[in-house]
Chain A
Amino acid sequence: MSSPASITPSSDQMRQMGWSVLATLAFFLIWELACMGLHVSNLVLPRPSEVAQVLVAKFPLLLPHATQTLYTTLVGFVAGVAGGIVIGALVGCSKLAYDVAYPLLVGFSCIPKVAVVPIFVVWFGSGTVPAILTSAVISVFPVVVNVATGLASTEPELEDVFKVLGASKWDLLMNVGLPRTLPYLFASMKIAVTLSFVGTVLSETVAANKGIGNVMMIASGNFDVPLVFAGLFLLAIMGVVLYALFALVEMRLTGWSQRKTEWAMA
């Protein structure tokens, strides 16, 4: 059971990472070759190398839009997660609240988020505010559901042990509920951060004059398909980086719940 403590990834993990990089490269290579071989017009599907060229050439122009998108996404995400934790804690703290609120939550989360953008525009005008709100609304549900589930699924026997000790609801929440919910919370945050981008871009394509979504909208209007793809690439890169960031934090804080990984043994 006692393996030597190490921070460096194991050879297994290195191999896995190597394969991941290889698979990604292969994906772009096949794309590139397929476009060349089948003579696909760059109005339909530009080659990755073309997209990369555009990305580099227009980077100064794209940068303020990217920061705008990143900014609205993060603000919306933080608001969504904060709201999600509060609502999730309220829903998850009692069986009754959980049963009563669950159908309502499912109903809300089923609403296509595109449909709420026009409402936000009516309420707050176009621009940053509806983008932030859309990003928040879209990221709130996975957090609510996961936090509530994490809290509601505490083992009754564990609760009994605490109750017999005379623990208050607050003691139980701080010592059992919250730590137990952390893995659920981080799992949902990884989903929520990618959804947040969807929300922001959605809103930007409908009602904004700044942001990657707006750039892609205008570019597609001008049939500048390589630029559209450059925007897509930027979104993918930002999404992956944020996802990885949360995965890293998750591993640091909730390694106990992932006992099979080498990291947890350290």
Chain B
Amino acid sequence: MSELGLEDRERFEQLVLPHVDAAFNLARWLLRGRTDAEDVAQEALLRACRFFGGFHGGDARAWLLQIVRNICYTWLEKNRPLELSMEFDEELHLQTCSTPETLAIAGDDRKRLTLALEMLPPRFREVLVLRELEACSYKEIAAITSIPIGTVMSSLSRARRQLYSVLANPSQGARP
């Protein structure tokens, strides 16, 4: 484990620390919870600190989010393996986090959208979060998620269609 020298520390504070919000936000949506996301964000920043020597300039946000994503997936593999194996055909597969009823009766939009977004499998949820909340370009999304740009496009397409249909027709999604 290498520790940061002072010049590196200043660079780290300038380049990486401004993206703590982005780190937390991505973790929060991937793990569907704030407490776990706080742990992951802390771990990610520590790892980023440790491996900062390997960061040779470029997009610090994408670099950090890549680390966050890796930790999130390791966490999911360990704690919610089913969620990762869930495939997403064109049919809706609802996750255990909420029932269609809660979605239908959730009055305010923020809650409704939160529940809908959390129903999507992580791989679709993450592209939406990166694109719509974090305003990442396709290139950045490809770098963060390690998937080809073409796949970013089709994942976004399916994720959006899915989200849209959950919102438009919440009760329809109840197929196991």
B is a partner of A: no
Binding site for A on B (CB under 8 A): none
